[in-house]
């Protein structure tokens, strides 16, 4: 099953970073957030990716084209430019298709443009600007159990503000930026049957207002509720938050590290 990552948007709300590179290439701990997303899927055995490029797509092309020499020792013979690559890395089995989908194409249109790369009964999709500790095995099993054309992951984001518990005019408890109790939102991390690609009309159709709305109206969109960590990177403050978490001992989305991240189904 291939993983399609939408990484062609402009990222206007993170202009400090995206003036010179696409948002998917903004770094967390010295690595693009796109790399973190791909490491997440690869941890569960999904190593075939289709990257939907658009705004400043050459930055992503150059990154992966030069990935081996960026991340491994090598010997080069000047004159002939013969290169001998040494040692190895854990991404050596990744197969990545970098597909130009247009700078101004909307998210649904990007999926339509890469339809010819999808050769399995189902495929996964996510955005190139958010990380989570979702167990992809649980998500896939949920999709197959529901038997619908699509599955969307719902998440509860952290509140921007501290939460007060008030008891008779006195603060009984205070929680700094807790996860909201209600208000599920689209967290990305989709699973679709291949036939949904025929439901997308063209470049000017967004995934959210087009395909997802169509599946919803026909009651063919299941919702997988994720109670764990999820965080998008829309603003500079969110970028700083993710980098602070990465500098800690256990960044919650780094499921490929050696600690327990079993999924929670409720």
> How do residues 64-94 score in pLDDT, each as one tens digit?
999 888 888 889 899 888 888 887 777 889 9
Q: Count of residues for the chain?
A: 266
Specify burial of residue 92 (Cβ count, 10 A radius: 0-12, 13-18, 19+): exposed
Q: Is 166's pLDDT higher than 80?
A: no
Average confidence (pLDDT) over 30-58: 96
Q: Is 26's pLDDT higher than 80?
A: yes
Confidence tier at 263 by pLDDT (50, 70, 90):
very low
Rounded to whole angstroms, how far apart are CA atoms 142 and 12? 34
Place of tokens 């958010």: 130
Quick check: 193 and 150 in contact, CB under 8 A?
Answer: yes
Q: Is 177's pLDDT higher than 70?
A: no
CA-to-CA separations, 144 to 46, 65, 159, in angstroms, rounded:
16, 35, 32
What pLDDT is stored for residue 192 in this prediction?
A: 98
Quick check: 29 and 131 in contact, CB under 8 A?
Answer: no
Average confidence (pLDDT) over 248-259: 82
Mean pLDDT of the chain: 87
What pLDDT is stored for residue 158 in this prediction?
A: 72
176 Cβ partners below 8 Å, 6+ apart?
Answer: 162
Place of tokens 């603003």: 235
Euclidean distance between the first and final Cα of the chain, in Å? 26
Of the candidate ranges 50-59, 166-175, 188-197, the one whose mean pLDDT is the lowest: 166-175
Q: Is 204's pLDDT higher than 80?
A: yes
What pLDDT is stored for residue 265 in this prediction?
A: 40
What pLDDT is stored for residue 179 in this prediction?
A: 57
CB atoms under 10 Å from CB of 217, counted, come to 9
Confidence tier at 9 by pLDDT (50, 70, 90):
confident
Specify burial of residue 107 (Cβ count, 10 A radius: 0-12, 13-18, 19+): buried
3-state DSSP assignment of residue 265:
coil
What pLDDT is stored for residue 151 in this prediction?
A: 96
What pLDDT is stored for residue 134 in this prediction?
A: 96
Beta strands in the chain (DSSP E): 3-7, 27-28, 31-32, 48-53, 74-77, 82-85, 95-100, 122-127, 130-132, 150-155, 163-167, 170-175, 185-186, 190-193, 221-226, 230-232
Place of tokens 């790369």: 117
Confidence tier at 58 by pLDDT (50, 70, 90):
very high
What pLDDT is stored for residue 160 in this prediction?
A: 56
What pTM value is reported for the model? 0.87
Domains of the chain: 3-155+183-247 (3.90.550.10)
Rounded to whole angstroms, how far apart are CA atoms 142 and 135? 11
Tell me what percent of the chain is helix, strand and coil, each rounded to the nearest 5: 30, 25, 40
Quick check: 201 and 212 in contact, CB under 8 A?
Answer: no
Q: What is the pLDDT of residues 230-252, one digit of tens each?
A: 999 988 999 999 999 999 878 99
| Burial per residue of 160-195, b for 16 or more beta-carbon CB atoms within 10 angstroms, e otherwise | eeeeeeeeeeeeeeeeeeeeeeeeeeebbbbbbbee
Going 198 to 1 to 117 to 206, the CA torsion angle's sign is: positive
């Amino acid at each position: 099953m291939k993983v399609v990552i939408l990484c062609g948007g402009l990222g206007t709300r993170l202009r400090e970073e995206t003036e010179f590179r696409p948002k998917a290439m903004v770094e967390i701990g010295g690595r693009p957030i796109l790399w973190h997303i791909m490491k997440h899927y690869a941890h569960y055995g999904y190593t075939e990716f289709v990257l939907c490029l658009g705004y400043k797509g050459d930055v992503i092309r150059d990154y992966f084209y030069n990935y081996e020499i960026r991340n491994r020792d090598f010997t080069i013979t000047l004159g002939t430019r013969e290169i001998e690559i040494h040692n190895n890395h854990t991404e050596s089995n990744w197969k990545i298709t970098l597909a130009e989908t247009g700078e101004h194409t909307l998210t649904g249109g990007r999926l339509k443009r890469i339809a010819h790369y999808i050769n399995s009964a189902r495929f996964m999709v996510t955005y190139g600007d958010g990380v989570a500790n979702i167990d992809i095995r649980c998500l896939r099993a949920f999709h197959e159990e529901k038997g619908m054309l699509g599955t969307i992951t719902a998440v509860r984001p952290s509140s921007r503000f501290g939460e007060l518990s008030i008891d008779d005019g006195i603060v009984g408890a205070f929680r700094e930026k807790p996860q909201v109790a209600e208000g599920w939102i689209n967290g990305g991390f989709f699973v679709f049957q291949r036939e949904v690609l025929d439901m997308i009309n063209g470049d000017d159709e967004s995934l959210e207002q087009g395909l997802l709305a169509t599946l919803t109206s026909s009651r063919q969109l299941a919702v997988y509720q994720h109670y764990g960590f999820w965080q998008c990177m829309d603003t500079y403050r969110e970028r700083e938050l993710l980098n602070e978490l990465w500098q800690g001992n256990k960044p919650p989305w780094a499921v490929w590290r050696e600690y327990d991240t079993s999924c929670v189904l409720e």
